[in-house]
Protein backbone atom coordinates (compact mmCIF):
# COMPACT_ATOMS: atom_id res chain seq x y z
CA UNK A 1 0.00 0.00 0.00
CA UNK A 2 1.35 3.42 -0.96
CA UNK A 3 1.37 6.18 1.67
CA UNK A 4 0.40 9.61 0.39
CA UNK A 5 1.23 13.02 1.82
CA UNK A 6 -1.18 15.92 1.38
CA UNK A 7 0.22 19.10 -0.13
CA UNK A 8 0.35 20.81 3.28
CA UNK A 9 2.41 17.96 4.72
CA UNK A 10 4.80 18.09 1.76
CA UNK A 11 5.17 21.86 2.17
CA UNK A 12 5.96 21.49 5.86
CA UNK A 13 8.58 18.79 5.29
CA UNK A 14 10.25 20.72 2.47
CA UNK A 15 10.19 24.00 4.36
CA UNK A 16 8.25 25.84 1.64
CA UNK A 17 4.72 27.22 1.37
CA UNK A 18 1.75 25.48 -0.22
CA UNK A 19 1.66 28.32 -2.76
CA UNK A 20 5.25 27.53 -3.73
CA UNK A 21 4.32 23.90 -4.34
CA UNK A 22 1.35 24.94 -6.47
CA UNK A 23 3.64 27.21 -8.50
CA UNK A 24 6.19 24.41 -8.90
CA UNK A 25 3.41 22.12 -10.10
CA UNK A 26 2.33 24.63 -12.75
CA UNK A 27 6.00 24.96 -13.81
CA UNK A 28 6.31 21.15 -14.08
CA UNK A 29 8.88 20.88 -11.27
CA UNK A 30 6.63 18.60 -9.22
CA UNK A 31 3.64 16.45 -10.04
CA UNK A 32 0.89 15.81 -7.52
CA UNK A 33 -1.80 13.17 -7.87
CA UNK A 34 -5.41 14.06 -7.19
CA UNK A 35 -7.44 12.19 -4.58
CA UNK A 36 -10.84 13.84 -4.65
CA UNK A 37 -10.17 17.55 -4.11
CA UNK A 38 -6.78 16.89 -2.48
CA UNK A 39 -3.35 17.16 -4.06
CA UNK A 40 -1.24 14.26 -2.76
CA UNK A 41 2.27 13.00 -3.33
CA UNK A 42 3.47 9.42 -2.82
CA UNK A 43 5.65 9.48 0.30
CA UNK A 44 8.40 7.68 -1.61
CA UNK A 45 8.89 10.76 -3.82
CA UNK A 46 9.67 13.06 -0.90
CA UNK A 47 13.31 11.98 -0.60
CA UNK A 48 13.96 12.90 -4.24
CA UNK A 49 12.46 16.33 -3.71
CA UNK A 50 14.58 16.89 -0.60
CA UNK A 51 17.70 15.89 -2.51
CA UNK A 52 16.84 18.28 -5.31
CA UNK A 53 16.23 21.12 -2.86
CA UNK A 54 19.46 20.41 -1.02
CA UNK A 55 21.21 21.23 -4.28
CA UNK A 56 23.62 19.37 -6.47
CA UNK A 57 25.53 22.57 -7.24
CA UNK A 58 28.28 22.01 -4.68
CA UNK A 59 31.25 19.68 -4.60
CA UNK A 60 32.73 17.86 -1.65
CA UNK A 61 34.83 14.82 -0.89
CA UNK A 62 32.10 13.61 1.47
CA UNK A 63 29.93 10.94 -0.10
CA UNK A 64 27.54 10.19 2.74
CA UNK A 65 24.65 12.64 2.50
CA UNK A 66 21.38 12.27 4.36
CA UNK A 67 18.79 14.75 3.17
CA UNK A 68 16.04 15.62 5.60
CA UNK A 69 14.30 18.28 7.61
CA UNK A 70 15.48 20.13 10.70
CA UNK A 71 13.47 18.92 13.71
CA UNK A 72 15.01 21.07 16.43
CA UNK A 73 17.77 23.58 17.06
CA UNK A 74 19.09 24.24 20.56
CA UNK A 75 21.36 27.29 20.77
CA UNK A 76 23.45 28.47 23.70
CA UNK A 77 26.12 31.15 23.87
CA UNK A 78 28.64 29.50 21.53
CA UNK A 79 27.26 26.17 20.28
CA UNK A 80 24.14 24.82 18.61
CA UNK A 81 22.73 21.29 18.60
CA UNK A 82 20.82 20.61 15.37
CA UNK A 83 18.59 17.54 14.98
CA UNK A 84 17.50 16.39 11.53
CA UNK A 85 14.94 13.76 10.52
CA UNK A 86 16.40 12.02 7.47
CA UNK A 87 13.93 9.35 6.45
CA UNK A 88 14.08 6.64 9.10
CA UNK A 89 17.18 8.21 10.64
CA UNK A 90 17.69 10.88 13.29
CA UNK A 91 20.93 12.79 12.85
CA UNK A 92 22.32 15.22 15.41
CA UNK A 93 25.07 17.72 14.64
CA UNK A 94 26.95 20.00 17.01
CA UNK A 95 28.17 23.22 15.40
CA UNK A 96 28.89 26.80 16.27
CA UNK A 97 25.90 28.97 16.99
CA UNK A 98 27.20 31.37 14.36
CA UNK A 99 27.04 28.64 11.68
CA UNK A 100 23.48 27.68 12.65
CA UNK A 101 22.45 31.34 12.56
CA UNK A 102 24.12 31.96 9.18
CA UNK A 103 22.32 28.95 7.66
CA UNK A 104 19.07 30.09 9.28
CA UNK A 105 18.50 26.59 10.63
CA UNK A 106 15.10 26.21 12.24
CA UNK A 107 12.48 23.46 12.57
CA UNK A 108 10.91 22.61 9.22
CA UNK A 109 13.87 23.77 7.10
CA UNK A 110 15.21 21.31 4.51
CA UNK A 111 18.89 20.48 5.08
CA UNK A 112 21.43 17.76 4.38
CA UNK A 113 23.60 15.98 6.94
CA UNK A 114 27.04 15.41 5.41
CA UNK A 115 28.88 12.60 7.17
CA UNK A 116 32.65 12.40 6.77
CA UNK A 117 34.57 10.09 9.08
CA UNK A 118 33.37 10.86 12.61
CA UNK A 119 32.15 14.39 11.89
CA UNK A 120 28.64 15.33 10.86
CA UNK A 121 28.33 18.62 9.04
CA UNK A 122 25.07 20.27 7.97
CA UNK A 123 24.66 22.19 4.75
CA UNK A 124 21.80 24.05 3.20
CA UNK A 125 21.21 25.17 -0.40
CA UNK A 126 20.97 28.88 -1.03
Residue 62's pLDDT is 59
Instruction: Please answer whether residues 45 and 14 qualify as being in contact, where contact means their C-beta atoms are separated by less than 8 angstroms.
Output: no
**Residue 59 is assigned to a structural domain of this protein:** no
**Residue 43 is assigned to a structural domain of this protein:** yes
CATH of the domain at 25: 1.10.1660.10
Provide Rg for the chain, Cα atoms.
15
Q: Kindly report the average pLDDT of the chain as a whole number.
A: 84
Query: Which of residues 126 and 88 earns the better pLDDT score?
Result: 88
Asked if 108 and 69 sit in the same domain, the reply is yes
Asked if 71 and 45 sit in the same domain, the reply is no
pLDDT digits (tens, 9 = 90+) for 78-110: 999 999 998 888 999 999 999 999 999 999 888
Q: Grade residue 67 by pLDDT with cuts at 50, 70 and 90.
A: confident
Asked if 14 and 43 sit in the same domain, the reply is yes
Question: Is the pTM here over 0.85, yes or no?
Answer: no
CATH of the domain at 101: 2.40.50.100
Asked if 49 and 70 sit in the same domain, the reply is no
pLDDT digits (tens, 9 = 90+) for 13-34: 877 788 888 988 898 888 899 9
Domain closes at, from 14, 30, 54: 54
Range of the domain at 72: 64-123
Number of structural domains (the chain) is 2
Residue 82's pLDDT is 97
Could you please report the per-residue DSSP string of 15-72?
A: TS-HHHHHHHHHHTS---EEETTEEEEEGGGHHHHHHHHH-S----S--EEEEEEEEE
Residue 95's pLDDT is 95
Amino acid sequence: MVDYLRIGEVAQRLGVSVDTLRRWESEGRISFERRGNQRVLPATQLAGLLTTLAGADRTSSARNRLTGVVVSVERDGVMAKVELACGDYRVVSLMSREAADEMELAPGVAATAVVKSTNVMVERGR
